[in-house]
Structure 1
Amino acid sequence: MKKRIHQIELFMKYPHDVQKEIFSKLLHSARDTEFGKKYDFKNIKSYDQYKATVPVQAYEALFPYIERRMKGEQKLLWSSDVKWFAKSSGTTNARSKFIPVSPEALEDCHFKGGKDLISIYLNNNPTTQMFTGKGLAIGGSHQINELDPKMDSYYGDVSAVIMQNLPIWAQFIRTPSLDVALMDKWEEKIERMAESTANENVTNISGVPTWTIPLIQKIVELKGASNILEVWPNLEVFFHGAVAFGPYRSLFKQLIPSDQMNYVETYTASEGFFGIQDRSDSDELLLMLDYGIFYEFIPYEEIQKEHPNTIGLDEVEIGKIYALVISTNAGLWRYSIGDTIKFTSLSPYRIKIAGRTKHFINAFGEELVVENAESAITEACEITGAVIENFTAAPIHFTNQSSGGHEWVIEFQSPPDSAERFAVILDEKLREVNSDYDAKRYKDIALKMPLIHAAAPGTFYQWMKKRGKLGGQNKVPRLANDREYLDDILELINEG
């Protein structure tokens, strides 16, 4: 692990050399695939040439290749045999996506990211007792791909793909057993996980905050405890990702009331492992540059264009928002994954996640992104003593009698000391972090004060259940530029 820290320091020091080497290896490995032949990978020698030859790909453009692979063909997008697919419904598209996970992507990206996460944590916490107990991992499920005539390929949540392929030694230091961890019925799974882990010595947890919370609550209830440290006194770290942690921090402090508890964020997706929080005093994420992924970036003003311009790592600027484009060792070529990030440091390259390319509100030119919303709601919670479970927001459109606005549904575990003050602080913070929102709020001309609905506990859980979206890989959409999600939730609230 210490050796790996040295390798990480090398790519931090020589980021462009490392990315250039990965770029060359990817094209060389895929030169004889169908996609590689179509775009003449053999004769592409530079990034500018690659950019001019291969268009930026949405999932729909790659899906015909992926579908053919799922039906048994090989050597279409990547050179090695692909037998696993990470199923992702995403949050911007109701249709399932099937992301190829090659042996190289498993070993050199997902597994390597997991090992690096532990290496970095140990390097920052040399007195850790993490290995005196077990790690609890909250994942999804997988199944046989029935489209494949040979029936020797599979798909499932990326967490399930990783768990199923872990080496034997790794299974001894994790809990619960695979048959429980990979169950597909989420409500039954929470019950079984609680029962099978409540008497273990759990020292670390890996998972999505939104689905870790109900499991901890279930275990506390099962054991008649007041908090999880009465059940797992040696719990010391929560490795988390998929959603921003800020809005959940106060709730975790209630569930795990210890100033010694560590929280480490990761940036992972079905498509790959991208970033790790490498410093204890900052929530920035180190962009991991040697995982077989070549990075490009679409400037914010280009995101909605049909043929957006992209830039390389050497051209990015601090503080600007970019959509992430990747080429990977699983055959995703110039693939726009739908996430936006911003750089906080260029030496080394550190980032923060800004949101989704389709998850924003821009009904009035305010360009409100998820990062703005999470920053504002976190501050409103801290000042008013509120603790939230979930939230979402959408626009209120203009009428002849009224200006527009934003309508929020927030599920509080602990309500704010004043609903009015919460709304004011939320609005003030949004104005502080987003100048376009601030301009539209001037004298309520385009935007009026936010309208907030306090939802009863369990509302978002019931809504996700109604949509068939229970499980670790499914996330509540934070912002939407239309009212589809919000109206559906409000209808559920009104029915109750």
Structure 2
Amino acid sequence: MKIKSFLAKPFAHYIYKGIRKGMTTAVADQENILKELLKIGKATEFGKDHHLQEVNVHEEYVQAVPVRDYEQFKPYIEKIKEGKHNVLWKGLPIYLAKTSGTTSGVKYIPISKESIDNHINTARNALLCYIAESGNTTFTDGKMIFLSGSPELERIGGIPTGRLSGIVNHHVPSYLRANQLPSYETNCIDDWETKLDKIVGETLDQDMTLISGIPPWAQMYFDRLMEKTGKKIKEIFPNFSVLVHGGVNFEPYRTRLLESIGGKVATIETFPASEGFMAFQDSQDAEGLLLNTNSGIFFEFVPANEVFNANPTRLTLKDVKVGENYALLINSNAGLWGYNIGDTVKFVSTNPYRLVVTGRIKHFISAFGEHVIGEEVEQSLIKAAEEEGVHITEFTVAPMITQGKGKSYHEWFIEFENKPANLDRFAQKVDVNLRNKNIYYNDLITGNILLPLHIRPVKKHGFIDYMKSIGKLGGQNKVPRLSNDRNIASALEKYVE
């Protein structure tokens, strides 16, 4: 046993013990975080605008601070970009995380001296929980790859600015730096396919033990390795034992990824965002991700059906219920207040507080009043794929609106790894699954308002070609599962078989 893996186990147990203790104090920890945020926030420009000096409890906070998305926060962000201090949080942010918004174009999310630990330590804690539970420390002695954006940073208003994954790259602990791949130079390459070839070249003869990345981009890495060698990933990297993933729901990618790996590995799911690291998988045996209740973020939860209301209900942790769909709001020590991050979540446990991500608020289809969400389409497709022995590479869904009753339908663009033997039968199964999950969709079908869904097979690498065409190939970019318009669907037409 090498020194790194020898030391990892006691450290993991120490951290894990603290996390277990935090499970029992989550509600109290959340209340304390709100008090601390208000104490500092009242002296900021935002705090003065919203009279935070008069706020002491959550009920008063709800009255003082409305729910906002990025567009509504933008005037404050613009002042920070001009170099102004004490706008949303004390001083200046130490970074601005640059991220692509679905409606806002490029977004700039502040990261403060106080909030950076949330991003760094949560990723660490996910691995330490795995070590404490499994006893596996050998992966810490091998090479680790983090498929991420470029670590090169620009300056805006004197503040270092770049992709979150690139920012975090600068904070990899020194004891892991020697294990980290790819090289800094390769990580700085902007063109994803050029970068991917370099990554393959740098890792092919290494003892890779941990691989981390968004599932579709991890799959591209695996595909490129298999094309080059003709071997499964575990044949290339026999000591590969941990796959860390996040950014999108893992389930649609699980079967193909694990088949590509060709052997047993542990998978650790995370829920990071530029706005904060929300949750992480703390156990291989329990469903859901442990909410990060003591890491500088005060969470609020809005019932999903109220999210577009002028004054929605805003629940705290003690009020949430298992099985309900909530829009997630955060208030953080980076200076985000009543901030709607755009994700919906559902608790699978309140002792401890574990949740699953169910979709994006703006990614839904309700062109006919059905309000179909990401969780429903993913589960409907996965069930049919399992029954038919079909592997899915990527997919997205959009409404097809035509004139005349009973002629419109949902159009599914699916890239298959292996096509169903009978596409019509497969489409029927997906449609039945979705009807069973969404009563409104079922009513529209039975009422002859909608036709059953149509599937358009996308050619091999079609989604990759599409992402390349819009300059979003690689990094943290992903294809939306659903759209309530035809923008993505129209662009995908040229990639249909």
The interval holding the TM-score normalised by the smaller chain is over 0.9
Structure 2 contact 120–171 (Cα < 8 Å) conserved: no
| Matching residue of 1:234 | 239
Matched residue type, 2:123: G
| Cα shift at 1:170 | 2.7
1:46 corresponds in structure 2 to 57
CA contact (8 A) 2:299 2:317 kept: yes
Task: State which of 269, 292, 295 in structure 1 corresponds to 2:296.
Answer: 292
Does 1:418 pair with 2:427?
Answer: no
Report sequence identity in percent. 35
The superposition leaves residues 452-488 of structure 1 with CA deviations (integer Å, 9 ceiling, x where unpaired) of 0111111111111111111221110110111111111
What's the TM-score, normalizing by structure 1? 0.94
Aligned to 1:154: 160
Q: Among 248, 266, 272, which residue is 1:268 paired with?
A: 272
Amino acid across the alignment from 1:403: K
Matches of 1:481 and 1:234 in 2, distance apart? 44
User: Which residue identity lines up with residue 224 of structure 2 in the other structure?
Assistant: K
Determine if the alignment matches structure 1 residue 93 to structure 2 residue 103. Answer: yes
CA distance in 2, matches of 1:93, 1:283: 32
Instruction: Give TM-score, length-normalised by structure 2.
Output: 0.94
In the alignment, which residue of structure 2 is the partner of 1:257?
262
* TM-superposed deviation, 1:283: 4.0
Q: 1:83: how far off? A: 2.8
1:124 CA displacement: 2.1
1:3 Cα deviation (Å)?
2.0
- Match of residue 13 from structure 1: 24
Offset, 1:146: 4.7
Q: Which amino acid aligns with 1:220?
A: M
- Say if 1:431 and 1:306 are closer, same or farther in 2 by CA, change over 3 A: same
Quick one: distance in 2 between partners of 1:186 and 1:106?
A: 27
Amino acid at match of 1:20: E
Shift of 1:371: 0.5
Distance in 2, Cα, partners of 1:427 & 1:395: 14
Other-structure match for 2:171: 165
- The within-5 A match list for 1:389-428 is 389-400=393-404, 402-428=406-432
Letter in 2 for 1:93: T
Q: Which stretch has the larger CA shift, 368-377 or 164-173?
A: 164-173
Determine whether 1:454 maps to 2:486.
no
1:221 maps to 227
Cα distance in 1 for residues equivalent to 2:300 and 2:82: 31
Amino acid across the alignment from 1:37? K
**1:143 touches 1:154 (CA, 8 Å); kept in 2?**
no
Which residue number in structure 1 is paired with residue 487 of structure 2?
A: 484
121, 124, 132: which one pairs with 1:123? 132
> What is residue 113 of structure 1 aligned with on the other side?
122
Partner Cα separation in structure 2 for residue 440 and residue 318 of structure 1: 29
- Confirm or deny: 8 A CA contact 1:360 1:369 kept in the other structure: yes
Q: State yes or no: 1:445 paired with 2:448.
A: yes
Runs of 5+ in structure 2 lacking a partner?
1-11
Please tell me whether residue 346 in structure 1 is matched to residue 350 in structure 2. yes
Quote the Cα distance in structure 2 between the aligned partners of 1:3 and 1:31: 35
Equivalents in 2 of 1:87, 1:397: separation in Å? 35
Contact preservation (8 Å) 2:396, 2:481:
yes
The residue aligned with 2:195 is: 189
Residue identity matched to 1:204: L
**1:104 counterpart = 2:104:** no
The answer for the alignment partner of 2:95 in structure 1 is 84
Q: Could you say what secondary structure the match of 2:394 adopts?
A: strand
Distance, in Å, in 2 between the alignment partners of 1:445 and 1:315 is 40
Counterparts of 2:127 and 2:246, CA distance in 1: 15
Q: How many residues were matched structurally?
A: 486
Mean CA deviation greater in 204-213 or 163-172 = 163-172
> Does residue 176 of the first structure (1) align with residue 182 of the second (2)?
yes
Secondary structure of 1:103 counterpart: coil
SS of equivalent residue, structure 2 residue 483: coil
